[in-house]
Structure 1
Amino acid sequence: MAGNRLVSMKDVARRAEVSVGTVSNVLNRPDIVSQDRRERVEAAIAELGYVRNDAARQLKLGHSRTVGAIVLDSANPFYGQIVGGIESAAESSSLAVIAGSTGNREQRERLYLSLFEEQRVRGILLASTGGTKELIDGIRRRGTPVVLVESSRDATGGSSVSVDDIAGGEIAVRHLAELGRRRIGVVAARQDLRQVADRLHGARRAAADAGIELEVLDAEDLTVLAGRAAGMSIVERPAAERPDAVFCVNDLIAVGVLQAFAFRHQISVPEEIALVGYDDIAFASSTVVPLTSVAQPADLMGRTALALLEEEIADPDASPRHVSFTPTLVERESTTG
């Protein structure tokens, strides 16, 4: 670099005493350049510290090797697992992944969508808050494919990958009912999010089938601290007024509830209250009482989302595809003792 200025191909050409075209050929088609000229250009590149501007090159060629991934909450390990699946699949295709977290905020989702489009990424993989459909439609019309993650078929005009969260909510509450639990509470936050609403819907459906009326306990957020506060509200009740089972709409809330119950051994799990989470994040099995959880195939969801994106790029006129996975229950000591 000369001073603070980035070294250009012209600088390399001047130092090697060749044309800019020859430098370009050395970088892109070295087999057509004579050995003497190739060695001179390579020596000039090494001496000047030239770095190819691959972003500009990709724009000129009309394609990018970078994929944008937008998730709801990077603090939730579930979304880290999704991004990990995207990155694993991208690596085998020599693609780079840039990830952003919206913190469950529509405004930040809009910002990331606009920035990724401006950067001319290859495509966008999006776990959406649900309020940006018009923006997504516009991005697609302008040529950047968007694949939705955690989105049902009727919520998008493009390809998407999701888990049947209604079935997941049913699985959780049915499991508790089959254990003989009759006073079941559901700890939920952000019911405006499709994922949470579907899990609640499934939970209510399973409760109705079992002749049980659910109690919905509102948490302030989808976090451990919010779960701990919700758990403390249960602890503070007289024993006869507490639920005998709790389903939490994600594992972070469930971990917080478990912490509240374990504090000074105030409530034993599962003897007094059985507990089920959702997502089956990595440390669900290593909590103080290993957590029963509804598992989503996060890594596979990420890999599948990237595969759908590549299908759309290969054939833009093909019909959109939706892939839906069925969650499974992973039973541990928080319900089975």
Structure 2
Amino acid sequence: MVRPDTEDYRALFLADAPMMDLRAPIEFEKGAFSCATSLPLMTDDERAQVGTCYKQQGQDAAIALGHSLVSGELKDRRLHAWSEFARSHSQGYVYCFRGGLRSQTVQRWLQEAGIEYPLVRGGYKAMRRFLIDELERSAASADFVLIGGKTGTGKTRVIWDLPRSADLEGLANHRGSSFGQLPQPQPSQIDFENALSIVLLKLLDQSGERIFLEDEGKLIGRLCVPDVLQAKMANAPMVLLEQSLDERIDVVIEDYIVDLGGRYQQLYGEQGAQLHAEKLQADLLKIRKRLGGELHLQMSEVMADAFDQQHAQGQLEGHRQWIGFLLQEYYDPMYEYQFEQRAGELLFRGDRKAVLAWANSR
């Protein structure tokens, strides 16, 4: 396998090249790449000390302080971790923020340990700039088709079954609705944008320009769909999914009761079932103003009874009432209004099987 050049960022991301990120943990948390592993040269506190020294005494003093902080047994432990990564990822790279002193220092220490490991020129800053620009190019050149439809029609399932598609909700780790928050946290906005840019980069590197996206609003949970993509989606053509109310209730039960409940139990054990029920009650409370106080109270009681029945008897049927009500009285009117406002052409409409057949024939 030919190793991509250290300035060929496109090739690096297309290859999912493993990368050793030497920035401090706080920098990594703000934004990184899915192919990168955090193995910092300095902790947040050590980095802060060096930064203060740089401002007060200059670069030479800061470098000297950095070497004194990362020395002896501490240096040996970190060098061991870097060496293990390099040996385990022979096609990998090392970088810091700008490809400067931190990565050059670790690269030299690895060389002294007998390991030649390339440094990404320009570091994180240059790769981040590349992905921002690439997202704009992708949005401008791609032929996006939206998968639309009311809540519960299974739009995300269609996205999963289409090879030339980008799962925005998967990248955002959120199901997109008022109830869509998952127990695992969402990525940072920068991580979301980086991952999205890489996905589109890979799709457009393949033959063809058409890419299917789920019809989304501006926000997916707390994450914002990038403006350049929002603008393109606003006028994109759409394929409309249509399923019966019973089929839509089945999908919601599978996603928000069975799957989401399983996630809570996996994370929290015996407490998971109670936390799952409390989470959905909290989500219902968020839309209380739009439902009205009396209807909210009624649905809250129906939901509570459904969970009691589920926990006592393992029956899911009790959930159909509150889910069906919210679909018809809350979600459907909102979607119908939004659908009337959109500008893109309607290319096709049908159930999931028909939509997949239509999409694959193109």
Same fold, judged at TM 0.5 (above)? no
Larger radius of gyration: 1
Whichever structure has more helix as a proportion of its residues is: 2
TM-score (norm 2): 0.25
TM-score (norm 1): 0.26
Whichever structure has more strand as a proportion of its residues is: 1
